[in-house]
Structures are given as structure tokens and as C-alpha cells.
Structure 1
């Protein structure tokens, strides 16, 4: 495929919500609720939607559910904003299968988390991503989140992968500003660098980061979209004004394993039912007051 990097930079930018998957109390996917959530996110100004990522509980979706979920997202988004489908796995064949399903469904991009648990060496990571890229002709985004996967994609490995044409971006969720800056310096001319850490993302836009794949945008889409739209115009004063309203949430939404707190927050806001899948459980009551206060201070309840 022929990739226009300038065009990719114009598409992959701003506040990119890593959407939760609304569920019924029995754990089934609540598709009518999901349709409402997608429409609300677009109405509130989110620049891009991420389906079936970590926040979407992809780890507990079957392959069939995963594929059906992505098809639903594609149909509901209906081209109004770009759609990124999470298709990563720690089994390369499964990642290829999910990526093919996403392409067939009509997703614009796929997001490929580093293979988790089996802790591959750097050459294994390179070969994993290289094979997926050569197998499926769709723009692909690397996703490095060592805090959850127990494996870190080295900068040198990212540089090697940046030479593969349909690998077009990287989501860096290390939470390190210095690392993000270095990544932009090394591959920013070949890959769109996106943040996956709400707390540091706005700062990184000053160095060339194009956007933020966000958990906080699930509950505060307008503030996040306005903040990052301003940041991309280098209007940091306006960006910080919007960002400061919700900045405390960047910590509080990780008071327990994500997406437990953000699902609690959405339920508190009346936007989703009380549903989550084991082995995750609903927010421990001892954290309710802290999260309730954060939501009140941010004007969300």
C-alpha cells in the first residue's frame, strides 16, 4: 500500500478516546448503550475513536466477540471520525486473524499492543510486527505499554519497525516525557507519535506528539478534545485552561486497574450500566468517595 505520511499526520491527531465496552450486569456487551456512547463521543468532539483496546476489555473478549464488536463500531461511527481497532495479541497468528477481521470490517487503522505475558526478546517483537504488517494491508499502530505487558519495545526496535511502510504510528504509554521526546526525535519523520498517558500527553504535544489515546476522554470528551485541539495549534494557554479542569482525573481513574474506575465514573454519570467482566470486578467501595469527589470537582456529576 502507498502511505502518505502527511495525510496520516492530519488524520491521527487530537483527543482519541480509548472507549470502554459497555456491558450488562451479566457481562454481555450492551450494544444499544454502546451506540449511544459512540454518538455522544462524536458529538462532544473526540477526534478519533479506539475500539476494543485495553480500556475496552479486549483481553476478555472471544475472537468472535472481538470481531463483532469492531464491525459494530465501524457501522455506528459510519466514517464520521477515524476508527482505530485494537487487534493486538500475544499470539501472532491470532493478531493476524483479528487484524484481517478489522480490515474486512472497514476499520481505518489497527492498534497492536506488544505481546503480553510471554515476554518476547526484541527480535521476537520485531518479527511479530513485521509479519502482521506484511500479512495485512492496513495502516498499523504500535502500542507500547510495559506496565501492563511486562515487555518494553526498545527505541532501536521501533526505529527498525518505522521502516515498514504500513506501520504508521506508535502509541507510547510509558508515561515518560523524556522517552517520548526521544522517540519523536528518532522516528517522528516516519511515524506519528501518540501518547497513551493522559497525565503527560499535553506536555508531549509541545515536542511534536500528535495526539493522546485517552482514558479520561471517556468521561470528559469535550474538555479533552478542546485541550488537544488547542495544543496542536500551539495555543498552550487555552489547552491548559481546558486540561486543568479534568487533570486530577488522570490519576484518579487509575486508583484501581483500568477500566474499573472509568466504568464506575460512567455509571455514576448515568451513561452505562454496572457491568464488567471477570477477572475484573466493580470498584471497591473504599474508593467511591475519592472518585465521587473528583467527578464533582470536574463538574461531571
Structure 2
């Protein structure tokens, strides 16, 4: 699914003052991201506060974003229930989305065989490209490289978002899977290192604020100008880390609000960034002339 491109943004969900989904602002933000280099959007993923969105809100978001942007939309629909995941997938399909992001089931802690069966059953229930999402820091279970290899042989499982933070595991996924199976890092700070070991791109949070610079970094690497790519990597290192100083998406929503892009606060159990966190993020942003 190379049509998804190399710089996918996991988009935040804007809320109004009542913490209702601001669909108009979501469309505006989506178009801004595309203008700055985003090649596809993940909607209602971790960064989009998917766990606190209702099924109806997710469906409305999928439909409105898909209707109003020019790049592929990948719907975050995974849950810790296989049946619910399939139900969510079918609702997303009705909106004409271009792919599904399916996270490893959280809390249940399935073993590797159970993980394989979960994804296999979901994949067989829908006819649409699927990106696996491995984020053990949030789910409590890790999709091992052997399981990724097995899953990559299923026709419509076409990509992986590897957010374990483990470059060795990402390397194993690249090594074990076919060339047309695309491995993306889910860690902004590992974008350049991941490209160097064969990853296709990144599913990014930082692209909300430094999308054009990340695009330049990726393109520089692809053109063989590793010196320029490395220079940009080090320029962005502080903001990459700063946007994860506390739980995502707390920092990135604070950053966007500081830039005048009104995305509102967060739904509980997440709460808005404290003044000390905002000050740290702002310090990193000033170095890049973002505020």
C-alpha cells in the first residue's frame, strides 16, 4: 500500500469547549496536515483519543475526513474484543476509508497464537488493507516478529506500525516480511534510524507541528543525502522527545493550541498539560520558531 506514503500523521481529535468533537476543526486540521506533507491520516487512533470516542463519533469523523481530504484515510478501529473490532471495521468501511489500523488487544494479554487468530479473523471479515499496530507500552502485550511474519502472509494485512521503541524488533519485522509489506515506525525519534534499516516510513505525532521538516528529512534520506537527513534529525530531536514528555496526546494538543490551532483539551482520564509541561514544550518550539 505504497499509496499511503511515508509520512502518515496520527491525527488528534479536536474538541470544543464542551469536549464535543469539533468536526469542522478536524477537517481544517486534516487539510493543514496534508498541505505540510502528510501523505495519509490515521483517524481515531491513540493520538486521536479513540478510546474515549463513541462509535457514532468515530463513524462521523471517518466520513467527514474522508469526504474532505485528498489523501488516504486509515481508520483506527481496534479494541480488545475481536467481535467489536469487526463491528467497528464495518462501520468504517461504510464511510469509504482506505485502510484500518488495528491495535493489539489490550488488557486481555493474549499469547502469540491468540494474537494471530485475532488478526486473522478480523482480516477475513473485511476486504480492505490492514495495518497492524504494535504498542506494548499501552496494550500490555507485544506482537512478536514471528507472529508479524505469519500475519504478513494474509493478503489484506499489508503494513505494521511498530511502536515498541525497539529498533531491533523493527529490524526483525523488516527482515522477516515480504518487500511489499510496509513497516512503519510509530516513534518519531526513530524515524531516521528506522529508515536506515529498511522501514518504509513513520506514523507520526510530531508531524502536527514539524511536518514539512520531517518530509524534508525523509526525502533527503531517500535521495542519499544522509548528511542533511541527519542534520534535520538532530534539529528535531528535542521536539520529538518533548512531545512525549507525558502521555500522548497531552503534549501535542498543548503544542497545537500554542500555535493557534484550536484543538481543545482532552477527555478524561487524560487531562490538559500542566504549566510546567507547557513551558517545556514551548521552549522546544521556540528553538524551531514555531511560536
Partners of 1:75 and 1:237 lie apart in 2 by 40
Change (3 A) 1:208 1:271: same
Partners of 1:12 and 1:187 lie apart in 2 by 18
Partners of 1:263 and 1:293 lie apart in 2 by 15
1:25 aligns with 2:17: yes
> Residue 207 of structure 2: which of 199, 217, 224 is its match?
217
**Equivalent residues in 2 for 1:271-282 (5 A)?**
271-282=261-272
The equivalent residue for 1:50 is: 42
1:179-230 per-residue CA deviation (whole Å, 9 max, x = no partner) reads 2112111114352111101111211111211100001011111111221222
* More displaced stretch, 226-235 vs 113-122: 226-235
Partners of 1:154 and 1:177 lie apart in 2 by 13
The equivalent residue for 1:76 is: 68
1:5-28 per-residue CA deviation (whole Å, 9 max, x = no partner) reads xxx2x3233211111001112210
Partners of 2:80 and 2:122 lie apart in 1 by 12
The equivalent residue for 1:169 is: 159
| Cα distance, 1:286 vs structure 2 | 2.2
| Cα distance, 1:243 vs structure 2 | 3.1
1:247-288 per-residue CA deviation (whole Å, 9 max, x = no partner) reads 211111111110001000000110014321011100012222
Partners of 2:154 and 2:137 lie apart in 1 by 26
Higher RCO (CA 8 Å, separation ≥ 6 residues): 1
Moved >4 Å (runs of 4+):
none
Partners of 1:293 and 1:159 lie apart in 2 by 42
Unaligned runs of 5+ residues in structure 1 are 1-7
Q: How many residues align?
A: 291
Partners of 1:126 and 1:289 lie apart in 2 by 43
Unaligned runs of 5+ residues in structure 2 are none
* More displaced stretch, 90-99 vs 188-197: 188-197
Partners of 2:249 and 2:197 lie apart in 1 by 29
Partners of 1:262 and 1:243 lie apart in 2 by 18
The equivalent residue for 2:80 is: 90
> Residue 113 of structure 2: which of 123, 127, 135 is its match?
123
| Cα distance, 1:53 vs structure 2 | 0.7
* More displaced stretch, 240-249 vs 195-204: 240-249
Partners of 1:158 and 1:179 lie apart in 2 by 10
1:80-123 per-residue CA deviation (whole Å, 9 max, x = no partner) reads 22221111111111111111122221111111011111111111
Partners of 2:237 and 2:178 lie apart in 1 by 26
**Equivalent residues in 2 for 1:144-293 (5 A)?**
144-293=134-283
The equivalent residue for 1:4 is: none
What TM-score does the superposition give when structure 1 sets the normalisation length? 0.93
Partners of 2:71 and 2:288 lie apart in 1 by 26
